[in-house]
């Protein structure tokens, strides 16, 4: 048995003024496991970059944002993936809020079928 992994991540957030902020993220991960001579051996390097912006207010619509992402996988599973994200936060009262998140990803696999994936999450919160 054998396992090796290493990860690197760089994140940058910029506040331009009270209302506008942007973010940038880069990460790179590497892993392998099993012996090279084993049929279970896998080796993978994944590089990802994402960026986006957030608009903040002091009103019912507290935050609104959009983000883009790109990932590239090299190794056992070779692929490219593009992503799009929308998110918002509503404040109904001092102790009731709602977060909405939508993520869409398109994965282009080199040796397998391409596919699209989407996810919608809603979170209603009450603070005591």
Higher pLDDT, 2 or 6: 6
**pLDDT digits over 20-41, tens only?**
999 999 999 999 887 777 777 8
Residue 124 confidence (pLDDT): 96
Residue 39 confidence (pLDDT): 75
Q: How far from 93 is each of 55, 66, 122, 124, 125, CA to CA, in Å?
A: 20, 24, 17, 12, 11
The position carrying tokens 């282009």 is 108
């Amino acid at each position: 048995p054998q396992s090796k992994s290493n990860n690197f991540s760089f994140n940058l957030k910029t506040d331009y003024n009270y209302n506008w902020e942007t973010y940038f993220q880069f990460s790179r991960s590497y892993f392998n496991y099993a012996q090279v001579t084993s049929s279970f051996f896998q080796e993978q390097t994944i590089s990802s970059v994402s960026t986006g912006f957030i608009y903040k207010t002091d009103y019912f619509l507290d935050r609104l944002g959009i983000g883009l992402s790109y990932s590239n996988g090299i190794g056992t599973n070779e692929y490219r993936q593009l992503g799009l994200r929308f998110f918002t936060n509503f404040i109904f009262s001092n102790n009731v809020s709602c977060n909405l998140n939508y993520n869409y990803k398109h994965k282009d696999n080199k040796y397998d079928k391409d596919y699209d994936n989407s996810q919608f999450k809603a979170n209603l919160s009450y603070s005591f």
